[in-house]
A and B are shown apart, each in its own frame.
Chain A
């Protein structure tokens, strides 16, 4: 059947099972919006393209399906860049459609023209400029395939307006064949056998699991691996929820603000089993002192991640789930009773700590109360900075896809739109956006989307009047010169919430924290903003300073 390009786009999205998409209209995408007007899918109108792409990202992280974005050319597309880079760093599958000026005008500095495939090349897994309407359906099919297979990532399709308006026969391909793209899912059996031997012979092994577990839905297999081997496990920020943090073998998060016991166990280990993690500098600290005694097994679908930062003894290139399944069939539990006893003792003796007091609200206390009052059953979407680290430390994650955070890029302004995306994926779940007073202002305009769609997202602002994480660094490493980190002038967040049609609650006393959280989670149709006035100069500890090793860990405020 002959169809216009715009119609082909919508039909193809429906073929891919798209239920929700996120975006913002503009001149060259009007033909596509024209077709979306009565299409059987839910279009979520953001108030800024950055909000749209972070929402699509949050949606993808929450439910595992690719997030779909549509924006116009020029500024519409450039507003997506931060969102693309965020998703690219954390390997989140997105299919992003941008309008482009008409093919004959490309390169002429036309109105709202930007070289979008050029700009987005380093922050997408792949991108396309469609130059012939006959390529459109095939391109969309490929984009979905590339975004969701192998190491996932964002794929962008730039569609000139004349392509949207041109007609062709619509045939949606059933299969994709790209000769130069064949992701390898199955780990090499020889490597797996070697890994089995190395694990069996280890005396002080630690599992270090990352976002790859979540992306490949390998949580169950990971838990089976731990059950069979009894090896203590730590996760990265993005790996949280892959293994229940309430379990005694969980060492929770490692890295710069990870637990004492996770960092020390890794440092003392004689075997580090990295699964779906990429040895980020926020995990390793000073790379030469990271694991002085350990051999490394690295399971990852991306060959380019192997031996990138740390030399690996046994690389296993493959999908975490597939490899773990194979490994679980053969794995032999090592004799590590002494080691596990030692690790458990470290855990008992050096717990996460903050000095709780009665007269001020500690931000960590707020997170603990959210955890208790929602019975650990919420989806937590964070901003970036202290709020993110406290949300990582003081809420115990037991399920995959319940912690949503920009790890690699560290994007402030991510959390609120991501929470909206997560709430759209799971209308019945309690979704929190843990925010700071700085980052919440970076995409606050998206609040109206939650109001409009009656999404009961709870926005918990840990308001300390500072850009807290940078202030913490200035305090510890830059002579307390608080250059441009004091937010002396901020909006009244309660009035702001009310102006948007949301509920605003201010909490200034510790004794009011519970009531505010309870009130917020009782709402089912309306977002709630809670302005927690927390201790202004509370810091995130433990802290391994940037470029230092675990030996330099700072456990608490120095007097």
Chain B
């Protein structure tokens, strides 16, 4: 297999039944699994944006982008892989809360601006928001403390007007 690069695609679509299935079908038909996916409405109720993170062969992804553009309900496909864009993700992460490590955990969370969204006798749950590498980093650092549960939102990506950020 050829070398696979990670792509971030932003797909603006008509908010209609079956659109998501059409979009992801183009990836699954090629045996590509999607690393992350996020879908929601925009300021227009009838338009949604699908953000897809996927690893693939350059030529195949080029082909998929053309195929996406061909789908009737797709309004626009934008490749955010190499352009200046703000990419964000949310993770919620539940940890074992042993009294010995409590302060340590709190300090790390503070450094990352992670918010506590749940606290119980035995567990603590943080929410972290940020660029994917920050979220990734936080998860890696928290791993040794014993992650009980972890969910991630999937990435969203916004093109910047300015190119110097």
A residues apposed to B, CB below 8 Å: 117-118, 121-122, 125-127, 129, 131, 146, 178-181, 302-304, 306-308
Contacts and interface: CB of A to CB of B under 8 A. Distances in A.
Contacts of B25: 121-122
A129 B18 contact: yes
B75 A303 contact: no
A127 B71 CA distance: 11
Contacts of B75: 179-180
A125 B69 contact: no
Contact of A121 (B21, B62, B63, B67): B21
A125 B18 CA distance: 14
Contacts of B69: 303-304
A304 B61 CA distance: 12
Contacts of B2: none
B22 interface: yes
B74 interface: yes
B63 to A, nearest CB: 6
A302 B71 CA distance: 12
Nearest to A126: B72
B66 A304 contact: yes
Interface residues of B, number: 19
B89 interface: no
A180 B66 contact: no
Nearest to B74: A180
B21 A118 contact: yes
Contacts of A303: 66, 69-70
Given A125-B72, A178-B72, A179-B75, A304 B18 contact: no
A376 to B, nearest CB: 37
Contacts of B63: 304, 308
B74 A122 contact: no
B17 interface: yes
A181 B72 contact: yes
Nearest to A125: B72
Contact of B18 (A121, A179, A308): A121
B29 interface: yes
Contacts of A126: 71-72
Given A129-B17, A180-B14, A308-B63, A302 B70 contact: yes
Interface in B48-89: 62-63, 66-67, 69-75
A250 B73 CA distance: 41
A117 B16 CA distance: 13
A233 to B, nearest CB: 27
Contacts of B67: 304
